[in-house]
Amino acid sequence: MILGRGLASGKVILFGEHAVVYGRPALAVPVTQVQAEAVVEVGAPGSGLTIVAADLGEQIVVRDAPADQPLAAAARLALAHLGLANPDWRLTVHSTIPVASGMGSGTAVSAAIVRALAAAKSKSVNQQTPALAPKRSAGASVSKSATRNTQYAVRNTRYELTAVELSALVYEVEKLHHGTPSGIDNTVIATGQPVYFVRGQPPQPFPIGRPFWLAIADTGIRSPTKITVGDVRLAWQQEQTRYETLFDRIGAVAEAARSAICAGETEALGPLMDANHALLQEIDVSCSELDALVAAARAAGALGAKLSGGGRGGNMIALVTEPTASTVADALRSAGAVRVIVTAVEQAAG
């Protein structure tokens, strides 16, 4: 029997990656075409919580897993937050988000696990204590705000997790993946909204003045963010003045991009993407495969293009229009992309 289900979308960083680790602003948006899903079912008596990572063919017994096993860590944090000991539940995780490629795979899996466990707690408590449940209609006060995905209405009692709580729990797991994460991935995935993010400040959702289109192309090269972030830190330690200047310039591009997006001046974004990519090349997080996809997209009519996320592999993004999207996507595939997603960036429904 299914006790609870949790979903979380992937994401891309539009502007500001790497510099965001050093306090500069960055912009990120959810990508709903790719998702992680976690499903909680009743497990065998005495089994405790078991996680089935269906895509990897792995089974993890949470009580025996090492502290840094990311799926078990997400589950332990969620159980502690929800006041659950170690229930006899079986949690199955699936994800269509490419791994280690800048689309928030690990973060989304953690968020889906936390959401599924919160939903399972709601259902199991309601099953155990139906007579005590208050008589109000399920979902009566469900907010239509950015937190809508993080609220669980099952019968009459529900365990609510705000986007801020979910983001904070997932951030703890992020530290295992990334070392020194800025917090942008957990923020955009927990809120499910376009986010303007500055480390240490409350995230600011920002309005999309006019929808625009992106082609997201995967080099097929897996590149763990922890490694590129670590390499940038070493380079920054050796050449602080130069790197601080580059980070300032990336931050200025991100600020200009936010203004253009809010004002609906989509055409201005292309040159800003190109400028951001050039700065990411200067901090040495691009690679020949990413540069080739960026060049192919521009040659096929994209208005601008850049790598997205940690770099040295993973994904790039190109600014396209509805008429140019399929030509650019074909050009990206011909240039070696293993997968291309075309997505509209628009205001989340709410």
**Within positions 208 to 237, which residues make up the interface with ligand PMV, using CB under 6 A?**
225, 229
- Which string of x and - marks every residue 68-107 that binds ligand PMV (by CB under 6 A)? ----------------------------------x-----
- Which string of x and - marks every residue 125-164 that binds ligand PMV (by CB under 6 A)? ----------------------------------------
- Cα R_g (the chain), whole angstroms: 21
User: Looking at 10, 181, 192, 205, which residue binds ligand PMV (CB under 6 A)?
Assistant: 181
Contact yes or no for 286/280 (Cβ under 8 A): yes
Residues in the chain: 350
- Measured CA to CA, the distance from residue 84 to residue 118 in angstroms comes to 10
Choices 14-22, 76-84, 155-163, 260-268; region in contact with ligand PMV by CB under 6 A: 14-22
Nearer to ligand PMV, 26 or 65 (CB): 26
| DSSP state at residue 154 | B
- Measured CA to CA, the distance from residue 302 to residue 294 in angstroms comes to 9
User: Looking at 185, 218, 274, 289, which residue binds ligand PMV (CB under 6 A)?
Assistant: 185
Nearer to ligand PMV, 73 or 117 (CB): 73
Choices 70-78, 136-144, 180-188, 247-255; region in contact with ligand PMV by CB under 6 A: 180-188
Q: Where are the alpha helices (DSSP H) in the chain?
A: 70-82, 105-128, 163-178, 184-191, 225-238, 240-263, 269-282, 288-299, 325-334
Q: Does 279 bind ligand PMV (CB under 6 A)?
A: no
CA dihedral 91, 171, 181, 249 (to 10 degrees): 120
How many angstroms separate the Cα of 170 from the Cα of each of 167, 202, 206, 350?
A: 5, 16, 22, 23
Q: Does 24 bind ligand PMV (CB under 6 A)?
A: no
The contact set with ligand PMV (CB under 6 A) reads 13, 17-18, 20-21, 102, 178, 181-182, 184-185, 225, 229, 309-310
